[in-house]
Copies of this chain bind each other. A is one copy, B any other.
Amino acid sequence: MINIAVVGYGYWGPNLVRNIQELGDARAISCCDMNPERLAQVKSKFPSIETTTRYEDILNNPLIDAVVISTPVSSHYELARKAFEHGKHVLLEKPATASVAEAEKLVELADQRKLTFMVDHTFIYTGAVSKMKEIIDRGDLGDLYYFDSVRINLGLIQRDVNVLWDLAPHDLAIMDHLVKEKPVSVCATGACHVGNGHENVAYLTVYFDSGLIAHFHNNWLSPVKVRTMLVGGSKKTIHYDDMEVSEKIKIYDRGVDVSTTEGIHDVLVSYRLGDMWAPRLNVTEALRVMVGEFVGCVQTGRRPITDGISGLNVVKILEASEKSIKQRGKEIRL
């Protein structure tokens, strides 16, 4: 039985606790938050969980094997560092850290101590993304050409980060999971209209050496909620629409065929029309699968699917995109 402490009981905390409690081989035994009102909520819903406003109580409790950190991103590094130093495994909410340097240090620390370091990139554990991974790994798409992601909706404008730091981690983590090739540079543009001096509309291009191009569109002001991803390859294309109820993933066998004729300068390009196919998806709640993965890794020592490296990869792109956006789209090497 793995004993877990949950640190930070805000928006996401209750979902984490509920899912941990419903696993058979782990349980939340402690919850830490600076706000006593929130701790009272924990107590009323989960009387068996001890609560505290002092993080040291968690660190110094030898019963606790692992901490799940669900606090604002600016505090992630310090909280995770201390946890590793006290020999605790760590699950961090996304984005992993506020900088590449922080993420690198945490990865190093976890490796030294041989502790599990996982980042909660929840979408990786959905039936939709699992299916995309399976299809892409099988080579069905052929060479990858483009990866286009749109995640826009009326969002709670955050005080201290721009819309990319808030929304893009989901999609960058999916790209990191699906695409084996490493990105080489980014260009980002955006604008700020209300609030916090940070961009509320942003566009991010990620370049790869192979010719694959990825693009992310995030917007906190859109009254229309869109969550789509188009992953196009030389053979097939996946369309992922997270707003669809039952057919989130569609695979199109429809595209462009190219043939070069010897001695002729022109290439011959022609349409290829074809079928569309929407596979059945696993409908287990992603958060459940995610906490199960964390507990399984703590128990066995194997590396999580969304380990510290994947968290680091996402932060690298976010940090570079922020530099690019401030220089009006200047290409920033990764």
A8 located at the interface, meaning its Cβ lies under 8 Å from any Cβ of chain B in the complex: no
Closest Cβ–Cβ distance, residue A202 to chain B (whole Å)? 9
**Looking at the complex, which one of B212, B239, B279 makes contact with A275 (CB distance below 8 Å)?**
B279
**Contact present for B195 and A212 (CB under 8 Å):** no
Size range of the interface on A?
Answer: 35 or more
Closest Cβ–Cβ distance, residue A73 to chain B (whole Å)? 18
* CB neighbours of A247 from chain B (8 A): 276
| Stretch of A118-126, A167-175, A252-260, A295-303 contacting B (4+ beta carbons < 8 Å) | A252-260
A277-296 interface bits toward B, Cβ cutoff 8 Å, 1 = contact, 0 = none: 11110000000000000000
**Contact present for A189 and B201 (CB under 8 Å):** no
- Given A230-B224, A232-B222, A278-B277, A190–B217 Cβ distance below 8 Å? no
**Looking at the complex, which one of B154, B207, B252 makes contact with A255 (CB distance below 8 Å)?**
B154
A191 located at the interface, meaning its Cβ lies under 8 Å from any Cβ of chain B in the complex: yes
A3 located at the interface, meaning its Cβ lies under 8 Å from any Cβ of chain B in the complex: no
Grouping DSSP codes into helix (H, G, I), strand (E, B) and loop, the A interface class, with mixed when no group exceeds half, is strand
* CB neighbours of A180 from chain B (8 A): none
**Contact present for A145 and B221 (CB under 8 Å):** yes
Closest Cβ–Cβ distance, residue A229 to chain B (whole Å)? 11
| Stretch of A52-60, A83-91, A311-319, A326-334 contacting B (4+ beta carbons < 8 Å) | A326-334
* CB neighbours of A219 from chain B (8 A): 146, 148, 232
Closest Cβ–Cβ distance, residue A334 to chain B (whole Å)? 13
A223 located at the interface, meaning its Cβ lies under 8 Å from any Cβ of chain B in the complex: yes
**Contact present for B201 and A255 (CB under 8 Å):** no
* CB neighbours of A203 from chain B (8 A): 203, 205, 215
| Stretch of A92-100, A132-140, A263-271 contacting B (4+ beta carbons < 8 Å) | A263-271
A305 located at the interface, meaning its Cβ lies under 8 Å from any Cβ of chain B in the complex: no
- Complex formed: what's the CA distance from A47 to B222 in Å? 44
Beta-carbon contacts under 8 Å, A188-213 to B = 189-196, 201, 203, 205, 207, 211-213
- Given A185-B328, A194-B258, A205-B329, A222–B230 Cβ distance below 8 Å? yes
Q: Which residue on chain B has the smallest CB distance to residue A205?
A: B189
Given A145-B201, A192-B211, output 5 extra A-B contacts at Cβ < 8 Å: A146-B201, A156-B269, A222-B230, A273-B280, A277-B278
